[in-house]
Structure 1
Amino acid sequence: MQRTQTDKCDFLHFNDLACETVGGRVVFATDEWFAPARNLLKSEPPQFLPSVFTEFGKWMDGWETRRKRVPGHDWCLVQLGVPGRVHGIDVDTSFFTGNHCPHVSIQGGCLEDTPTFTLDGDRTGMAASDSQMAAVATLGSGAWPQLVGVAPLQPGSHHFFKVEFSSRVTHLRVNMFPDGGIARLRVYGVGQRDWSSVSSNQLLDLLALTNGGVCLGFSDAHFGHPRNMIGWNDLVVLVRVLQVDRSGILQVPGSEWAVFRLGHRGRVSRVEVDTTHFRGNSPDSCRVEACSLDVGDESWSSAEWDVLLPPQKLRPHHRHHYGEAELRLNRPISHVRVVMAPDGGISRLRLWGRIAAAPANQERPASKL
């Protein structure tokens, strides 16, 4: 583990496995006096409202505990929305300037069964009961491996930690020493599932976050990151020559692209390009290219790309479906590159297909989900 600077955070293009929008939730917290721990996983950035107070003190958009007057420290358990391998963590203390947590550490565990206890409702002003403490003690979370060793935190700052831990993680234990506040927790990684339980005849989205799909590179992400094709919207291409070909596709210089690794090598039989909510800023057209690389080989920048889906005219705010009649490849692929012209936004890309075996000794080890 090491603390790192933003420009060295090569893990930031991965998905946030803990965000509430993918099912992440806080299942336990020792204390939530000023602000509940569930705020850590909000998808939106933290905010500060100077004039807002609760009966317990200043309202804060994050997790903040009361000042300890007994030995020990505060901690919480986070259940990842998508279990997987964690590559990096952002501990954000935005707006916690004199009340931030002085030091933090983070541990990771892989639980076979989901804990039966949970924290419901507004927990502001509350602390864990003796029975809740006894129930969570059965997990032995204090002995879980460390993903982030004890590290100092600064007020009102992002703290990026690169994680060197290769095992699958389902839950995190976030330790605050001894108390204080944290605004947000972002857990960047790649989802993992047990492919041994998936039939080769089962049709599924090979690019889905829960199946291990991940964005590896892109040309532009000014208005939104293309990871998992959630709200990809790039800068406007300013040079436009409005000519069309026989298919009505604009012939303009320039395009934008993003590269994705499938969660499992497979044969794609259906492609969905969804421009929902992009009404005046959808692309004019797009195409999808594909290649097949060995497991662990990420040399996509020098790979030979073949056309999976030839250029297609797109409509705004519409789900476009393409079947085998439009697709050009019928062999297993591992990576895709979606190219949109000349600019605009795509909300989702779904690649429906069936898993295929990798070359001998090249398959990723199965991980239970």
Structure 2
Amino acid sequence: MADSPREGKLARAPAFIQLTDMACESMGGQILFATDDFFAPAENLIKSDSPSFKEHEYTEFGKWMDGWQTRRKRIPGHDWCIVRLGIQGIIRGFDVDVSYFVGDHPPRMSIQAACLEEDKQPEIPQRALRTGAGATPEEFEAIAEFKSDDWDYLVPMTELKPGKPDSSHNYFPINSQQRWTHIRLNIYPDGGIARLRVYGTGQKDWAMTDPKEPLDLVTIAYGGACVGFSNAHFGHPNNMIGVGQAKSMADGWETARRLDRPPILENDENGILLLPGCEWAVFRLAHPGVITQIEIDTKYFKGNSPDSCKLDGCILTAQEEEDMIRQKWDLPSHRWKPLLPVTKLSPDESHLFDSLTLELQDVITHVRFTITPDGGVSRLRLKGFPSSICLLRPRERPMMRFSVKLGFKANL
């Protein structure tokens, strides 16, 4: 159940909005059903950009609005929609944004959630964007198989407060530790909502993992997270571990140009630039494991990719991670073990490397990705095997043994 404020809105933005929007279309979120899309389709709820307003623009059905807006209800019931989360996991909070819907926002809303197994989800008709229409009887019949009326309430029926765009966010912190896959947004009885943000952390069902197939252990979809970085002037390091391929430079990690660059650059015999500074980002893996393959993609970074990079790993308990965050990751150098030595990078290219882990035979919990001197990277993929199932791998390397220190928590 939500630990929600009485007025449905906090005076200041809560810390949970720094987490990933698990419902966002860029993360793979999808609208499965909506009772009505008369003025504006529910797909607008999960757009990645902020809502906008066009004062003099109208459609054949009414005022153009950047959100989900239903017609004024003249039949029994209320409107609702179902969202399949792009990132499935633990929800820390919601933001129900009613920007620009002054006079048209729903007086009340509630949010339900469910955790549905992938292979047991009912099939429903492919949804088409159809402003000016409502759900058909066939769609209602298909969505009834989800039994969403019985889903758990994370936010009970609560009053919504409208306001100007900078004060139209209704925040709801969530205490549930359960894994969720689907959300049902109820509005009472009708109206418009600009955006629904579902903030949290990914969590994979590791018990269902194929022990023969390597997984991306750092992806945000499974619970990987950036826990420290030196610079993020143009883009946060969490972008590198996002879902799918990067869509532009804005969808990667990019730092400012370092001011300590020498006036004239030189390189060594291997073509690596000789520079005094670097930038770095530290990631907590979604699960402790052995990394076997490293992918570093500089797509879209054609004139601003790093000259070189390296990757190191370590194993830390939850308490040690907290200590390092306070100390800005001043971890003794001997704690870091190389996974990838200093390696030249090319612009706008995907690079694939074998990790040194197979020689070191070490499980790790955290990695530090270092670029020299600065620049941008679109994606970082670290494929390998979770430690809990490493011993189930084929026995082509019978001497490999894995262990994890006590006290580590895979998901903080």
Counterpart of 2:224 (choices 201, 213, 227) is 213
Equivalent pairs, count: 365
Residue 273 of structure 1, CA deviation: 1.1
Separation of aligned partners in 1, 2:291 and 2:282: 16
Residue 169 in 1 paired to residue 165 in 2? Answer: no
Counterpart of 2:40 (choices 35, 38, 44) is 35
- For residues 1-369 of structure 1, the aligned pairs below 5 Å read 1-2=3-4, 3-4=9-10, 8-9=14-15, 11-112=16-117, 113-118=120-125, 120-149=127-156, 150-155=158-163, 156=165, 157-229=168-240, 230-241=251-262, 242-294=265-317, 298-299=321-322, 300-301=324-325, 304-324=335-355, 329-357=360-388, 359=404
Q: Which runs of 5+ in 1 are unaligned?
A: none
Pair 140,341 (structure 1): closer, same or farther in 2 beyond 3 Å: same
Q: How many percent identity over aligned positions?
A: 47
The question of whether the paired residues in 2 share the 8 Å contact of 1:215 and 1:228 is answered with no
Task: Please tell me the root mean square deviation across aligned C-alpha atoms, in Å.
Answer: 2.9
Counting helix residues as a fraction of each chain, which structure ranks higher? 2
| Structure 2 counterpart SS, 1:142 | helix
Give 2:35's aligned amino acid.
T
Counting strand residues as a fraction of each chain, which structure ranks higher? 1
The question of whether the paired residues in 2 share the 8 Å contact of 1:208 and 1:228 is answered with no
Separation of aligned partners in 1, 2:86 and 2:259: 39
Separation of aligned partners in 1, 2:307 and 2:13: 33
The question of whether the paired residues in 2 share the 8 Å contact of 1:14 and 1:215 is answered with no
| Structure 1 counterpart SS, 2:221 | helix
Deviations 1:269-311 (A, max 9, x none): 2211111110111122222221213478743536543332232
TM-score between the two structures when normalised by the length of structure 1? 0.87
Residue 345 of structure 1, CA deviation: 0.9
| Structure 1 counterpart SS, 2:146 | coil
Give 1:139's aligned amino acid.
F
Give 1:356's aligned amino acid.
S
| Structure 2 counterpart SS, 1:95 | coil
The question of whether the paired residues in 2 share the 8 Å contact of 1:83 and 1:168 is answered with yes
Separation of aligned partners in 2, 1:297 and 1:202: 30
The question of whether the paired residues in 1 share the 8 Å contact of 2:94 and 2:199 is answered with yes
Residue 168 of structure 1, CA deviation: 0.8
Residue 172 of structure 1, CA deviation: 0.3
Give 1:125's aligned amino acid.
G
The question of whether the paired residues in 2 share the 8 Å contact of 1:17 and 1:24 is answered with yes
Separation of aligned partners in 2, 1:246 and 1:42: 48
| Structure 2 counterpart SS, 1:227 | helix
Residue 66 of structure 1, CA deviation: 1.3
Residue 135 of structure 1, CA deviation: 4.1
Residue 169 of structure 1, CA deviation: 0.5
Separation of aligned partners in 2, 1:295 and 1:198: 24
Pair 272,365 (structure 1): closer, same or farther in 2 beyond 3 Å: closer
